[in-house]
Structure 1
Amino acid sequence: MKFQIIPVTPFQQNCTLMWDENTNKAAVVDPGGDVAKIAAAIEQRGLTLEKVLVTHGHLDHCGGAKTLADQFGVPIEGPNEADAYLLDELATSQTRMWGLPAGAPFTPDRWLNQGDTVTVGNETLQVFHCPGHSPGHVIFFHAPTKVAISGDVLFAGSVGRTDLPNGSFNALVKSIRENMYTLGDDVQFIPGHGPVSTIGSERRGNQYVPDKK
């Protein structure tokens, strides 16, 4: 599996294009906006978009999801159903909150839960439900390449905000300790914003969620 980070929106959100090298089938994770930029990257690499994946329902992560999915005629998978209310607000209260262009509200073709898997070509990613930043947040983990896409759960040296409606710092800490720190120290993760880091680096040095060991 190959990965390309495509920063989108004025928030420079890390939209991720991933593809199976053997089939050239691809998925886009968190198309928050700048759909033309994402589409150009897909076409430049000669990939066939198979689906859109969404970690959570905040506008900068999924504001362009429906537009991209409709353009390519593909389904949307994720987030967890607990974020349904956020998807309904993509063109209203979220636009006012974030000051970004309105997104198109949508209901995904598939809600995702802890223990689910998603496929991209012949590759499989594990799904972990990681509430805290939002109640329906999920992350994706590709074990063969040891790469996780963490959305706004864990960052290099930081963690996702929990002061937003329905956020919970205790839930976020639990999600990180149980579903991210357990993936393995050599696992790289692509956060929703900022640079890539490793689980080991954060487990040892993240001041917000220090390792209990």
Structure 2
Amino acid sequence: MKWETIPLGPLQTNCYVLYNDNQEAVIIDPGGDAEYLQQWLENRNLHPAAILLTHAHFDHIGAVEQIRQTFDIDVYLHEKEREWLTDPEKNGAALFLGDSTISSAEADHHINQEGELVVGPFTFQVYETPGHSPGSISFYHPESETVFSGDVLFSGGIGRTDLPGGNHDELLKVIHDKLLELPEDTYVACGHGPYTTIHAEMDSNPFLNGF
């Protein structure tokens, strides 16, 4: 089981493609540049099973609709951001880019609780990790020892909380209570910047020290 990082879209958001030896894959946070992502997948003969969204800010969803239609796959998103995919005002595209075109149809599956999520041959543990946005979720994949955290936890940082629905105290609490409880050698696949590990963030993240 492997994953690769593909920076996409206006903010070069990290899109992740997790795939197995049978060339089956899941796509996490396809933020834009749909044609490039499609070509990337086809060049590697990968067969996507689904799109998983850690949250629905514009920079994480820009390629959702084209990739969904091209590969005829379902989209998973938290229930609290159900309307964000369809509304550039809610997903931030209109506010930050002046662009009312970054949107898609609603997700096919709305997650409303924590627990196991099975998508084809892939099994994730879903954690509700709000604070950056109300419907932020993290996908922990034990087989690859990776948590796909979106904009919750970064290498040496945490997600911004000054956007609508953000809450700084809540973000720190869910990082401490949920993500830092994962095995210390877990890789953290962040929404922006380099990947890190739980151990590294416990040891040196200035936002978490002393919490």
TM range (shorter): over 0.9
Cα 1:116–1:205 change in 2 (3 A) is same
Q: Deviations over 1:32-63 (max 9, x none)?
A: 11011111121111111111111101000012
Cα 1:17–1:93 change in 2 (3 A) is closer
Write the distance in 2 (CA, Å) between the matches of 1:91 and 1:25: 34
Cα 1:120–1:100 change in 2 (3 A) is farther
Q: Which residue of 1 aligns with 2:15?
A: 15
Q: Which residue of 1 aligns with 2:148?
A: 149
Q: CA RMSD in A?
A: 1.8
Cα 1:41–1:199 change in 2 (3 A) is same
Q: Deviations over 1:165-211 (max 9, x none)?
A: 11000110111011110111100111000001000111121111225
How many residues get paired? 210
Q: Which residue of 2 aligns with 1:90?
A: 88
Offset of residue 118 of structure 1: 2.9
Q: Which residue of 2 aligns with 1:172?
A: 171
Offset of residue 72 of structure 1: 1.1
2:79 aligned to 78, 81, 84, which one? 81
Offset of residue 93 of structure 1: 6.9
Q: How does 1:32-71 map to 2 (within 5 A)?
A: 32-71=31-70
Write the distance in 1 (CA, Å) between the matches of 2:190 and 2:69: 26
Write the distance in 2 (CA, Å) between the matches of 1:36 and 1:91: 25
Q: Which residue of 1 aligns with 2:190?
A: 191
8 Å Cα contact 2:57/2:91 also seen in 1? no
Q: Which residue of 2 aligns with 1:126?
A: 125
8 Å Cα contact 1:91/1:105 also seen in 2? no
Paired residue secondary structure (2:135): coil
Q: Deviations over 1:74-125 (max 9, x none)?
A: 11012x1111232232378722222175222321111124433333442311
Amino acid at match of 1:94: G
Cα 1:59–1:174 change in 2 (3 A) is same
Percent identity of the aligned residues?
Answer: 33
Cα 1:158–1:93 change in 2 (3 A) is closer
Amino acid at match of 1:176: I
- How high is the TM-score relative to the length of structure 1? 0.92
Which stretches in structure 1 are left out of the alignment for 5+ residues?
A: none
8 Å Cα contact 1:20/1:120 also seen in 2? no
Structure 1 position 3 matched with structure 2 position 8: no
